[in-house]
């Protein structure tokens, strides 16, 4: 068996499994079209639309999986994700933009897509294997989730069914495709005639004729009326960087302690503490450092009041915030802004 993409790794995963939140925009748009309020759903995860639509905000993969399930529940539609996947405007979803624009063949697209997916999430490893007759595409999680991420897998099934059928054209034969997913119940029965079986929690696999890899991938066939052309920051690769990305949307919480922070990161508190100790720091030190950095950016890059900045980093009392800021920097927030702002 040949690993065509060289995307498998034996290296131990040292970062938190994160997913770029803006990848969920197609879901919020679909709920909006169905007149379902998204704000109450996001509130349950201490998130907002502004946070979700920011291109460089990441969240723990388990948070994203739970959020997708909550969206399907709110829509009272167990097939929400598979529908969104199969009707997605390819170029409104950034993970595909560069891959599809440059791909020459179906196989080339899979290679490029797998590489680009690494810029969108650190929670999944993708590979494409061949055995001379069949090709198998695998999207495998780097961790064992604490729930069944049915909607996450169903999205990929709907998405790739659409792409496969477009690329294969007259050669399309659903009988030649085998799919395994963590929960087939999230996909309609006899879905486009595909054989779908239950796999494990680690992800989904799609097997198809290897000959399809040589089919041309026609950019114009997938291009639709709108196209998103935003350059995204790659997901964090170090533990400390990924920790900060995961906690950034929650730094306004005044009672954010080590236990809550670990839960927000989808990590066991003690296990995370050991990892941080090996790096010479603690969870509370990282929370404090993140509050300081966020406050400094707000002082220098915005006109927000000291009171508003205090609230944004978890201090309900501006005087308590000012004392903490002086401890961090040796000066008050007002003095810091005056000294470091170009007049």
List, for residues 177-217, the tens digit of each pLDDT value: 999 999 999 998 888 889 999 998 888 999 999 999 998 88
Helix (H, G, I), strand (E, B) or coil at 42: helix
Question: Is there a contact between 92 and 80 (Cβ–Cβ < 8 Å)?
Answer: no
Task: Find the mean pLDDT for residues 243-256.
Answer: 86
To the nearest whole percent, how much of the chain has pLDDT over 70?
88
- Is residue 156 domain-shared with residue 118, that is, in the same domain? yes
What does pLDDT average to over the chain? 84
283 and 197 share a domain? no
Q: Can you give the pLDDT at residue 98? A: 73
pLDDT number for residue 342: 57
Residues ≥6 apart with Cβ < 8 Å to 159? 85, 86, 88
Q: What is the pLDDT of residue 12?
A: 42
Residue 147, Ramachandran bin (φ over 0: left; ψ between -120 and 50: alpha; else beta): beta
- Predicted pLDDT of residue 4: 42
- Is the confidence at residue 226, as pLDDT, over 80? no
Domain containing 274 equals: 251-340
Residue 74: the pLDDT is: 93
| The pLDDT of residue 39 | 92
Q: How many CB atoms lie within 10 A of CB 338?
A: 12
Q: Clarify whether residues 60 and 116 are in a common domain.
A: yes
State the CATH number of the domain containing residue 85.
Answer: 3.90.1520.10
The pLDDT of 27-37, averaged and rounded, is 89
Do 83 and 216 reside in the same domain of the chain?
yes
Whether 61 and 164 map to the same domain: the answer is yes
Per-residue buried b or exposed e for 216-234, using 16+ beta carbons within 10 Å of the residue's own CB: ebeeeebeeeeeeeeebee
What Cα–Cα distance (Å) separates residue 126 from each residue in 33, 130, 302?
Answer: 32, 14, 40
| Confidence at residue 9, expressed as pLDDT on a 0 to 100 scale | 36
| pLDDT of 221 strictly over 70 | no
Asked, for residue 243, whether it belongs to a domain, the answer is no
DSSP β-bridge partners for residue 126: 139
Q: Domain with 304 in it: what CATH number?
A: 1.10.10.60
Predicted pLDDT at 1: 42
Residue 230 forms part of a structural domain: no
Do 163 and 285 reside in the same domain of the chain?
Answer: no
Contact between 298 and 280 (Cβ < 8 Å): no
Here the tokens at position 258 are 């080590």
User: Of the candidates 207, 222, 237, which is a domain's last residue?
Assistant: 222
CB 254 within 8 A of CB 314: yes
**What pLDDT band is residue 96 in, cutting at 50, 70 and 90?**
confident
The pLDDT score that the predictor gives to residue 165 is 84
- Report the pLDDT value the prediction gives residue 43, as an integer from 0 to 100: 92
The pLDDT tens digits for 252-303 are 888 888 898 888 887 888 888 888 888 888 989 989 989 998 999 889 888 8
Same domain, 169 and 76: yes
The number of beta carbons lying within 10 Å of the beta carbon of residue 34 is 12
Q: Say how many Å lie between the first and final Cα of the chain, rounded.
A: 64
Residue with more model confidence, 301 or 10: 301
Return the minimum-mean-pLDDT range out of 149-158, 232-241, 255-264: 232-241
CB 78 within 8 A of CB 185: yes
Range name among 60-64, 124-128, 215-219, 330-334 with the lowest pLDDT average:
215-219
Number of separate domains in the chain: 2
Establish if 229 belongs to a structural domain: no
Q: What pLDDT was estimated at residue 343?
A: 53
Residues with Cβ within 8 Å of residue 68, at least 6 apart in sequence: 24, 27, 81, 149, 151, 152, 155
**3 has a pLDDT exceeding 60:** no
Shared domain for 207 and 260, answered yes or no, is: no
Residues listed for the chain: 343
The answer to whether position 67 is within a domain reads yes
Whether residue 120 sits in one domain with residue 47: yes
Q: Is residue 157 one of the residues assigned to a domain?
A: yes
Q: Which pLDDT score, from 0 to 100, does residue 213 have?
A: 92
């Amino acid at each position: 068996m040949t690993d065509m993409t060289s995307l498998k790794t034996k290296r131990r995963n040292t970062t938190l499994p994160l997913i770029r939140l803006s990848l969920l925009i197609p879901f919020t748009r679909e709920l909006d079209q169905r007149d379902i309020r998204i704000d109450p759903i996001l509130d349950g995860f201490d998130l907002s639309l502004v946070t979700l639509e920011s291109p460089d905000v990441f969240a723990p993969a388990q948070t994203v999986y739970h959020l997708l399930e909550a969206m399907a529940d709110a829509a009272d539609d167990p097939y929400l994700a598979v529908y969104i996947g199969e009707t997605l405007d390819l170029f409104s979803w950034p993970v595909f933009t560069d891959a599809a624009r440059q791909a020459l063949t179906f196989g080339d697209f899979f290679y490029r897509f797998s590489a680009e997916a690494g810029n969108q999430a650190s929670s999944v490893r993708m590979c494409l294997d061949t055995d001379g007759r069949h090709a198998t595409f695998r999207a495998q999680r780097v961790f064992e989730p604490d729930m069944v991420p049915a909607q996450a897998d169903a999205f990929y099934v709907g998405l790739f069914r659409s792409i496969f059928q477009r690329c294969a054209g007259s050669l399309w034969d659903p009988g030649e495709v085998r799919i395994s997913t963590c929960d087939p119940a999230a996909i309609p029965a006899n879905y486009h005639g595909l054989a779908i079986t239950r796999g494990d929690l680690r992800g989904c696999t799609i097997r198809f004729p290897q000959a399809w890899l040589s089919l041309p991938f026609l950019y114009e066939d997938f291009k639709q009326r709108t196209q998103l052309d935003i350059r995204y920051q790659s997901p964090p690769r170090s533990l400390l960087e990924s920790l900060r990305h995961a906690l950034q949307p929650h730094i306004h919480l005044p009672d954010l302690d080590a236990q809550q922070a670990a839960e927000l990161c989808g990590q066991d508190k003690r296990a995370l503490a050991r990892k941080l100790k090996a790096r010479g720091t603690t969870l509370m030190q990282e929370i404090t450092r993140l509050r300081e950095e966020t406050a400094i950016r707000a002082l220098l890059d915005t006109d927000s009041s000291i009171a508003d900045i205090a609230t944004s980093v978890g201090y309900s009392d501006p005087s308590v915030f000012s004392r903490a800021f002086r401890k961090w920097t040796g000066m008050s927030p007002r003095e810091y802004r005056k000294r470091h702002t170009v007049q």
